[in-house]
Amino acid sequence: VASGALGPGAEFDAIRGMLDRWGPRAKGIGDDAAILDVPRGDRLVVSVDTAVDRRHFRREWLSAREIGYRAVTAALSDLAAMAARPLGILTAITVPLGLRDVLSDLADGIGDAAGACGAPIVGGNLSGGDELSITTTVLGSCYAPIERRGARPGDRLYVTGRLGAPALAIARLTSGVEPGAVRNRFARPTSRIGEAIWLADAGASAAIDISDGLAADARHLASASGVSIVIDARDIPCFDGADAATAIASGEEYELLVALRGAVDADTFAARFGIPLTLIGSVEPRGSELVEIRGADMPPGAGYDHFSS
């Protein structure tokens, strides 16, 4: 932990304040670096993700606690995409002078996400700056991580959960409409850690988490695997109120898109995790398009804002 420019005492006071809030969810903080043990035989899996004010979140849409929770959950979702079990979390926060009062709530949200995945906060950094941002490093481990590049022609393509709620929430918040039930799905997403481990055990050949939108992430998967992907829009599980076009373009879902070689028992999955596992397409030899979406009137390149516009 530490270093930075919050000023004398203030930095350590703020860190102590966060540690108090985290209680047993923080572990071993206070040395130059954290020490962890990777289970014997496992490989280490690590990812980093940054959330910047007004780029990745809006303070008028989300509470500080939700912002902290989402920042960590987005990073954990990258571990889920590899079917890794979380070992520890590091949180590097840059906070402007005028926003220091959000640190407690931000810390609570970070603690919520750590508690939800069962991995401790093992380190971090607190720094002054002109712009609020949270950079989260997640460490996990796995005997055989699922990679993006493992999809092969003949694999079936599944998606977890129901898609579209974050896009609906953003559209409603943007136009000043009360978002209703989709707000919670947007503000409190879930990283599909347990689901990913189950899918790995069921023989998943490739996976990616849906952060940029189903169409965009299917392209990433197809590109990395050297295949094409065919999705039937009519099979996409949509959140209440979302149509297929919305579900296909909706980002920050943190659901998993998974290629599986054999058959999988979706009923057992649904009973275990309380969300559907839906067959939405197939993996084909590389064709002229990386991703073909059938049964919907939409451009095949449709994706999340950042990438499609």
What is the contact surface with a second copy in residues (CB under 8 A)?
Answer: 3-5, 7-9, 11, 30-38, 40, 43-50, 52, 55-56, 74, 77-79, 81-82, 84, 87-88, 90, 92, 94, 122-125, 127-131, 133, 135, 137-140, 145, 147-149, 208-209, 211-212, 224, 306-309
CB of 112 to a second copy, least distance (A): 20
Q: Which is nearer to a second copy, 122 or 242 (CB)?
A: 122
Q: Give me the least distance between CB of 144 and a second copy, in Å please.
A: 10
Shortest gap between Cβ of 296 and a second copy (angstroms)? Answer: 22
The residue among 9 and 98 lying less far from a second copy, judged by its C-beta, is 9
Tokens of 228: 């094409």
DSSP 230: E
The HSE-up count of residue 238 (CA atoms within 13 Å, CB side) is 16
Shortest Å distance, C-beta 47 to a second copy: 4
CA distance 134 to 130: 13
Q: What is the Cα–Cα distance from 192 to 212, expressed in whole angstroms? A: 16
Least distance in angstroms from the C-beta of 2 to a second copy: 8
**To 10 degrees, what angle do helices 103-117 and 10-22 make?**
40
Q: Is the CB of 265 or the CB of 305 nearer to a second copy?
A: 305
At 257, which amino acid appears? L
CA–CA dist 107, 89 (Å, integer): 13
Do residues 155 and 233 touch, judged by C-beta distance below 8 A? no
Q: Where are the beta strands (DSSP E) in 210-309?
A: 227-232, 256-260, 277-285, 291-294
| 52 vs 171 by CB, closer to a second copy | 52
Of the candidates 70, 116, 71, 65, which has an alpha carbon nearest to the alpha carbon of residue 92? 71
Q: How far is the CB of 234 from a second copy (least distance, A)?
A: 28
Nearest CB to a second copy, comparing residues 18 and 238: 18
Which lies closer to a second copy via its Cβ, residue 63 or residue 127? 127
CA-CA distance, 245 to 299, in Å (whole number)? 10
